[in-house]
């Protein structure tokens, strides 16, 4: 009987733990972006990937160098060059910073490029 009660309590704890919300990654602005002009800040907030997903904010975008190899954009992220997937390339939102910007996230040990705006985007 005692074993059944203990097993029930453990199962209940496991179920409750699985119902807890997963942590969400949020952009952090510790004041390093306070000198960003309002129009540039608004642009960062307005950029949307071709699949309709918002790229996020000024603190999520990374100004970057880039290369074009056989018609594909490549960007350096954390020390390695990565191909930019076509679904992430945004060519119709302009680019007020004059440098390429890449948005990416870490997911299950991989880096996923969610958005990329080339320096010459119009």
Domain count across the chain: 1
Whether residue 122 is contained in a domain is answered as no
- 2-46: pLDDT as tens digits: 544 444 444 444 433 433 443 334 444 445 567 888 888 888 888
Whether residue 108 is contained in a domain is answered as yes
Whether residue 22 is contained in a domain is answered as yes
- 56-94: pLDDT as tens digits: 765 578 999 999 999 999 999 999 999 999 999 999 888
Whether residue 85 is contained in a domain is answered as yes
Global model pTM greater than 0.85: no
- Token pair for residue 48? 């949307």
Residue-number span of the structural domain to which 30 is assigned: 2-117
């Amino acid at each position: 009987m005692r074993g059944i009660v203990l097993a029930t309590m453990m199962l209940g704890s496991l179920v409750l733990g699985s119902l807890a919300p997963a942590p969400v990654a949020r952009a952090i602005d510790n004041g390093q972006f306070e000198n960003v002009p309002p129009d540039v800040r608004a642009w960062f907030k307005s950029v949307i990937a071709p699949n309709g997903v918002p790229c996020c904010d000024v603190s999520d975008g990374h100004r970057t160098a880039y290369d074009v190899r056989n018609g594909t954009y490549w960007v350096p992220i954390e020390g390695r060059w990565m191909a930019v997937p076509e679904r992430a390339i945004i060519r119709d939102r302009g680019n007020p910073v004059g440098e390429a910007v890449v948005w990416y996230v870490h997911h299950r040990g991989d880096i996923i490029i969610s958005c990329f705006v080339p320096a010459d985007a119009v």
